[in-house]
Structure 1
């Protein structure tokens, strides 16, 4: 066993963009939609946090 974290296997993602959806059930598709919606929300929250941090920095350095 290696002492480096990079050697660990990564778990497959729950959804891969562009993957074949034909074999999934309706429930599986709904679960993926819920997963993607929660990820969109998380991304939007990160954008808002970064934007507010940038605004704070800009206001600090304004004359």
Structure 2
């Protein structure tokens, strides 16, 4: 669990499938979940992408 200043608490889940990685970001307060897919060698980059998608999804609510 990570505390993001703009969003609040966010849980990241990383699941590897061969050479790919799925990163899910879950907003604790609302239960909203978004996912990003990419190369398994870039987990931190996928976390940044998933967090950006989560921020956009929360702003659209």
| TM-score of the superposed pair, with normalisation by structure 1 | 0.35
The structure, 1 or 2, with the larger RCO (C-alpha pairs under 8 Å, 6+ apart) is 2
More strand by share: 2
| TM-score of the superposed pair, with normalisation by structure 2 | 0.36
More helix by share: 1
